[in-house]
Structure 1
Amino acid sequence: MSRSDSESDAAGSGDTGESPGPETGADGDSVDPAREPAATDRDPPDPADSTGRFDGIDRTTRWVLAVVAGGLLARLALLGARVAHYDEGRVAWWSNYFLETGQFEYRYIIHGPLVQHVNKFLFDALGANDFTMRLFVALVGAFLPLAALLFREHLDGDEIVGTAFFLAFSPLLLYYSRFFRSTLIAAAFAFVAFGLLVRAYDERSVWYVYGSVAFIALAFTAKENAAVYLLVWVGASALLLDQALFRTGGDRSGFDWARERLDARTRSLGDYVADFLWHGAVAVVLFLAVTLYFYAPRSPDAAAVGFWQAVTNPTLFPDLFDRTLDDVVEGYSYWFGGTTDAGCRQDNIIDAYLCFLGQEVHAIAQSALALTMMAVVGFLAERWGRVRSRAVVLFCAYWGFVSIIGYPLGTDIANAWIAVNALVPLAIPAGVGIALVVDRARDSVHTGSVRFGVTAFALLLIAGYMAGSAGWYVYMNDTTEDNELVQYAQPADDFRPSMAVLQDHAADHEGVDVLFVGSSYVRDSPRDGGIEPLCSSISETLPLQWYVDAYGAEGDCIQDEETAVQQLQNGEVDPLVVIAPNSLEGDLAPAMDGYDSDVYRLRHYGSETVFFSDRTPDRPNGNAALEPRALAVGD
């Protein structure tokens, strides 16, 4: 299978100590009053804008809320229309298994446990289907633009709205927030955690730090590569520190600049150390509590060592912690132990990396070009166009651009979702870039028709590109081969019409409901446990098992097609649906009287599969008295 990705994020904010401007603050750093966002760029409340129930909500917040509402609608519309991807079907099956059995343990091959816990409750409340499967990811993606408000002390109103706009409507982010996968969830939680750290700096409040720790922990429960975010944060912080020490302003050296700040401490070093140890200990306990809750096993057996058994009997916590730690160590060792497959099938790591990087760049060019280009504009304007660059903007730019280059090293399958890790932080410099273009257009309305025409055309081009890309690739062609966002394990055709008979008749049908046939779809010997039917080959047939389970159907297998024909003709098995490789259609057809046959592709291309569906399911079961149970013909 795949060894997915790794991810990255950032921390820190404040000034960078660049060369002085026209004014100097109390600490000797430069201040540019014309571009100091905290004092001048944010929109003050305008009494004339009062609208009753929205009194007290400033204009920027209203715009962000409008963006969130639009993003929510864009994500919920037709959310269940696309047939499930291989990975979606696998994780959804285990989520439903958790609901039906009460049994759970961390399985690193399907990444972090968070979505299984959440979907267990969603399936219980709303039913198990493709819409509810993706609902949690869609909601996280829809409300992510609210995180832009965490940076309002560092960004002006237009920049905040621009950031929210790209988080809500960039087509690549939109596609993968309609996809049951934890990549966007981990990126979103890490971005919120970073924003809370910025607020902690702004407000000098430790409560924001605790909130950040909670979201970092949630990012770890969503996906293992959240650990990479912390590494990237360290790297981005080092770049900002180097910049501050290199460009201190005046005649001071970097060491003088650092010494002055240390000398300006209002408390003793011992007080700082004591506070750090205390709050650090609380943060560690909070992190461990959140991660233990989601990673710890669950079991309905009262004698088992599970989370709720330990809650009622605290003496079990050491055993629970040891077992959970062993599972986590095994999982993280797997994901960070090196790739097992070149993915792009190249002879060496350099060629494989270039192949993965090329696919990522193609996906960005197709569906995230506007965000990426505006991020470049925003970064350059921030780095070179301001007297005093803002650390938050540069930090997110470093985080995002490094992620574009670095993530192809951490994957072994061709996929576009790794770009999510870069695009979420790049939304901030992109917001700066689009706000700059809007500002130029606004200034040129009365001063220059040519300049206004150029900037207005640029804005229309960006809006048209994003709308066209979203409409074509997110909604209309979300499974087609020419869509760079579509990963190979996505079925190219919607086979659900041929399985619809299960929804109406599986509950009343006796015996086997779905029969898998053929040596490539049936294992030589059934698995000891896991995704059912145990006789089916998951690598070839997922996500079919998810639909068998969601419809409440029962599946089985016959490996040899001649045996299958004989048993079908003799009435030993009477399934509602028979599934086999398309090459076996002619062999099975003589036994499929009363069935409709349709051929679908179970993968991005190729993998043609024939579905025989019973067109007279109301007839009495020919094998009702036999009720066969051991049909997994193996070795």
Structure 2
Amino acid sequence: MGTDEPTADAGRVADDRLSGLFRDARTRTAAAILAVVVLALSIRLFGLGARVFHWDEGRVGYWILRYAETGVWEYRAVIHGPFFYHVNKYLFGLFGASDFLARVPVAVVSGLLPASAWLFRERLNRVEVVALGVLFALDPIVLYYSRFMRNDVLLAAFMLHALAFYVRLFDTRRPRYLYLGTLLVALAFTTKENVLVYAVTWLGAAALLVDHRLVLAADADDRKEYVVSSLRSLRSGGWLVHAGLAIGLFFAVVIFFYAPRARTTPDPGLWKAFANPGMFPAVIEEATVGSWEKFLGKWGEGNQTAYLDTFEALGRVLWEGGALTLALAAAGFLFDRYRRDRPRDLVAFTFYWGAVTVVGYPVIVENPFPWEVVHAVVPLAVPAAVALGALVTLAANASADGDGLSAALAVLLVLVVVGQTATTAVAASFVHPQDRYLDDAETPNRLVQYGQPAEGLRPTLETIERVIAANDGTDVLWYGSDFYVADESENDDWAAGGGWYDRLPIPWYTELYGADVDSTVEREAVGADPPPIVIARAADREQVGEALDGYRAFEHELTIYGSETVFFVDASSLDDGASAAGSRGSPDTDARM
């Protein structure tokens, strides 16, 4: 026993130190944020590849695969920024392309949003910090579009992360946060063109904060001193040098992403310029001036439809997925503004940012697609966390004071908020991720955009993959004017030919499976020497089926509704396993799967 005593004493000392460590409020807060980050990443990565690609994911994914094959890429404003093209190209090259991997960048960047709450620890109390992390992790709209290969969540997350680093810069005066924030802003500029709206919104919110300070100043001399001291602080400590280096970092990132790639063409390209430095001016000009001109040519006119119609469409989505966030944000902003002698800049700034986005986005968006509301709910999470934190604090204080009724009511409100948010998030992202309606088959699922294929397509895609892998020659024949493309090589970039866009998202999968694809509008060509897979509109099902002896038919919607399409698969190419995986019911029936 005596020989065990030192070990036992050491263990008690370690336990005491550990328990002492977690008695520290700062450490407990950090541990809570870490746990929320793990939760956020887990629910974003779980089943990430289960939902079939959306129309938009399909076209971008296809062009990334073609870019990886040809080495040719240039910025096209109509398909937004270059982030996915370059990042996913490298990911696919390292790990192999898949639905899961294509969505990983968005899931990870969004999953790290709760970590940004820790950077606000000088501006928010510890309860508010944790509440903000929870809202970032569970917000239904953010979660749903975090499981998409789309730019909107990336843009919102990059800009929120950037704000967090800039706030930390003001709190610590450490230059590294300037560079980190600027790097995140530069990455935001590689995602989507409405990053410029963020810049304008930030300038407006900052101007309001400066006005707050000037109003709070006692007299004209104090206001003058505030302005002079602010300008003086910029000149001191080498900040002008750091600012210049940060601007250089910004343009280096932008040029790297926007510079054209031209491996198999005679045009200037980024990697070619390293072998021929005289090409750099043309590459840099195209990456900066050329990209700016393309952006203005496509997106400079904003929304050309009625403002109220667009506002109503986006408002319905925001109400379905973010009503609690809106209510909490308004309450948190008012609570912070009128409860304190001096409202907190961070709370006011993010509320202005989110509120202007709600009102202003219907002016600038070309279409009222549901993912646009992401840009409002991300900044509004900060004032919403203030309200949620106030409820938690109220419950704790009431319990400590022996006021059981107040404590119970506050706890109930917190449970309603968190529970409703989590329930909506689970329903949208996991129970009905591609359903047109919710459980009652009458309530529209407004988070699901029209271009999402309806439920049931995945088993047929898995069957098609196996058939393609076992076949030589042409694998897939598209039939009909809706799908016809005279030259399939036209589909390598955004100006894809003919009916290619009506095929989406299937081209992503056929390219992923290495299929040899052709198309025709001649019925006789279908039955002459058909490949193992023929795809046609449901309206042509009967006449195409008559030309295909021994084929099984699987019918699906390529969008959420109104795009009934039939996949004819040669029964002789199906083994028992493929037949079971790809079929629902008898192959001779017209049952929709």
CA distance in 1, matches of 2:80, 2:99: 19
Within 5 Å, give how 1:270-289 maps onto structure 2. 272=235, 275=238, 277-289=240-252
What is the aligned partner in structure 1 of residue 562 from structure 2?
Answer: 606
Structure 1 residue matching 2:69: 3-state secondary structure = helix
Q: Does 1:520 align with 2:487?
A: no
Of 353-362 and 393-402, the range deviating more from structure 2: 353-362
Contact 1:492 1:604 in 2 (8 A): yes
- The AA in structure 1 aligned to 2:467 is H
Within 5 Å, give how 1:128-207 maps onto structure 2. 128-207=97-176
Q: How far is 1:50 from its partner?
A: 5.3
Cα displacement string for residues 74-107 of structure 1 (whole angstroms, at most 9, x for unaligned residues): 0111111111111111111122122222222212
Contact 1:495 1:600 in 2 (8 A): yes
- The AA in structure 1 aligned to 2:557 is R
CA distance in 2, matches of 1:534, 1:272: 52
Greater relative contact order (Cα < 8 A, sep 6+): 1
- The AA in structure 1 aligned to 2:528 is N
Contact 1:498 1:613 in 2 (8 A): no
CA distance in 2, matches of 1:323, 1:364: 38
Cα displacement string for residues 251-290 of structure 1 (whole angstroms, at most 9, x for unaligned residues): x22x32222335658x969x82895653333222111101
CA distance in 2, matches of 1:160, 1:88: 34
With structure 2 as the length reference, what TM-score do the two structures score? 0.87
Structure 2 unaligned spans of 5+: 1-15, 437-443, 576-593
What is the aligned partner in structure 2 of residue 506 from structure 1?
Answer: 468
CA distance in 2, matches of 1:532, 1:336: 16
CA distance in 2, matches of 1:364, 1:618: 45
Structure 2 residue matching 1:575: 3-state secondary structure = coil
Structure 1 residue matching 2:112: 3-state secondary structure = helix
Q: How far is 1:478 from its partner?
A: 1.3
Contact 1:415 1:485 in 2 (8 A): no
What is the aligned partner in structure 2 of residue 30 from structure 1?
Answer: none
What is the aligned partner in structure 1 of residue 526 from structure 2?
Answer: 568
Contact 1:516 1:536 in 2 (8 A): no
- The AA in structure 2 aligned to 1:489 is G
Contact 1:522 1:557 in 2 (8 A): yes
Q: How far is 1:576 from its partner?
A: 2.3
With structure 1 as the length reference, what TM-score do the two structures score? 0.82
Contact 1:71 1:168 in 2 (8 A): yes
Q: How far is 1:550 from its partner?
A: 0.9
CA distance in 2, matches of 1:74, 1:408: 31
Q: How far is 1:403 from its partner?
A: 0.7
Of 100-109 and 525-534, the range deviating more from structure 2: 525-534
What is the aligned partner in structure 1 of residue 64 from structure 2?
Answer: 95
Structure 1 unaligned spans of 5+: 1-45, 343-351, 620-635
Within 5 Å, give how 1:409-424 maps onto structure 2. 409-424=363-378
Q: How far is 1:247 from its partner?
A: 2.7
Q: Could you say which structure has the higher helix fraction?
A: 2
Q: Over aligned residues, Cα RMSD in angstroms? A: 2.6
What is the aligned partner in structure 2 of residue 493 from structure 1?
Answer: 455
- The AA in structure 2 aligned to 1:494 is G
CA distance in 1, matches of 2:227, 2:294: 42
What is the aligned partner in structure 2 of residue 291 from structure 1?
Answer: 254
Within 5 Å, give how 1:386-535 maps onto structure 2. 386-445=340-399, 446-481=401-436, 482-523=444-485, 528-530=490-492
CA distance in 2, matches of 1:577, 1:50: 66
Q: How far is 1:592 from its partner?
A: 2.2
What is the aligned partner in structure 2 of residue 116 from structure 1?
Answer: 85
CA distance in 1, matches of 2:371, 2:322: 12
CA distance in 1, matches of 2:413, 2:533: 53
Q: For the structure 1 residues 405 and 131, does the alpha-carbon distance in structure 2 shift closer, same or farther, using more than 3 Å as the test?
A: same
Cα displacement string for residues 451-479 of structure 1 (whole angstroms, at most 9, x for unaligned residues): 12221211121122112211211111111
CA distance in 2, matches of 1:494, 1:517: 22
Contact 1:375 1:397 in 2 (8 A): yes
CA distance in 1, matches of 2:330, 2:295: 34
Of 188-197 and 442-451, the range deviating more from structure 2: 442-451
Q: For the structure 1 residues 594 and 198, does the alpha-carbon distance in structure 2 shift closer, same or farther, using more than 3 Å as the test?
A: same
What is the aligned partner in structure 2 of residue 260 from structure 1?
Answer: 225
Within the candidate set 40, 46, 55, 1:71 is matched to 40
Contact 1:502 1:553 in 2 (8 A): no
Identity rate, percent: 36
What is the aligned partner in structure 2 of residue 552 from structure 1?
Answer: 514
Contact 1:80 1:130 in 2 (8 A): yes
- The AA in structure 2 aligned to 1:314 is P
CA distance in 1, matches of 2:371, 2:495: 29
Contact 2:263 2:272 in 1 (8 A): no
Q: How far is 1:202 from its partner?
A: 1.2
